[in-house]
A = this chain, B = another copy of it.
Amino acid sequence: MKAGLGIDIGGTNTKIILISEKSRVLKEVRFKTESARGYAGFLAVLSENINSLKKQFSGVRISGAGIGMAGDIDSERGILRFSPNLNGWRGIPLVADLRKRTGLDYAMENDANMAAWGAYVLELKRKARNVLVATLGTGIGGGVIVEGKLYHGSTGTAGEIGHAVIDPAGEKCACGNRGCLEAYCGSGAIVKRALSMIKNVEAYRARYGSGPDKKINTIALANAADAGDRTAKKVWAETGLYLGHGFGSMILVLNPEYLILTGGVSKGARHFMPSMNRAMEEFRIRTPFEKIRIIVSENADLGSYGAALYGLHSREN
């Protein structure tokens, strides 16, 4: 039996999955990334996990492996250039190091690119040619599929849609620039906008708060909007406007067949889609907008899934 191995390395958790050729999950392993302890320690834990997984599935031939990593990736050379989310790691030759320790070949990409590949395969079965995938979470990332292939751009940075600027004089972004899409539509920005409008935060938490600690997050705001809460509805409507402005320009540049929305914030899609579509209607070159189809992917594990699938597919080329 052939299988694909996918590794998703995030600031908090690292996840390894093994999937069959038919995309069935055979095994899932998760551990804390703990990048502050340094790269050598992380590499040891990761290799150990992969090798033990290989032993456990000795009857399975791992015919492809992929790594998605939060950061600036040199996918051609398999090097992490820099990651602010991984304790500032720089110049990490992860692909070569892992190859030595596990005997496998890896295709490494930015995590958003891997998630984009996952969405492309799972939602569209690779049938569309040109697709823009947006991961809407704390951060906003993206990936671009061009003519059925993951498009890296010249330095592997293509699809950095979260820091495309929708208003040069606008909100300060965590990246240091102003007016980035993420500064308006990242989950933090959405919640901050809601909090600034909520008069009695404690009452709001009690009524709509999410989870055991009654957090006001995008899930809470989606539920609140469902219940008819005006503040939440307004916040989602604004979010949709900003997304429509940002995506609209990208659609003019990329002219994709599909826009796929993923990530936690896309759980609010039913509330932001109407205003997002209205904002896109303002664009006067209509053909790309008339033809595009917008879908929301409910799959929460696109990162590791996409990495495994990409590992499998990269063997085809």
Contacts and interface: CB of A to CB of B under 8 A. Distances in A.
B252 A249 contact: no
A86 to B, nearest CB: 16
B284 A159 contact: no
B153 A256 contact: yes
Interface stretch (A93-101, A164-172, A309-317): A164-172
A256 to B, nearest CB: 6
Nearest to A165: B249
Interface centre among A167, A175, A253 (most CB of B within 10 A): A253
Interface stretch (A60-68, A144-152, A191-199, A294-302): A144-152
A32 to B, nearest CB: 26
A250 to B, nearest CB: 6
A157 interface: yes
A282 interface: yes
Given A81-B287, A165-B245, A167-B169, 16 more contacts: A142-B253, A147-B149, A147-B151, A153-B255, A154-B255, A155-B287, A155-B291, A157-B255, A157-B287, A160-B252, A160-B288, A163-B283, A165-B166, A168-B279, A177-B282, A250-B253
13 contacts: A81-B287, A147-B149, A147-B151, A153-B288, A154-B255, A156-B255, A163-B285, A164-B249, A165-B166, A167-B167, A168-B241, A175-B284, A178-B282
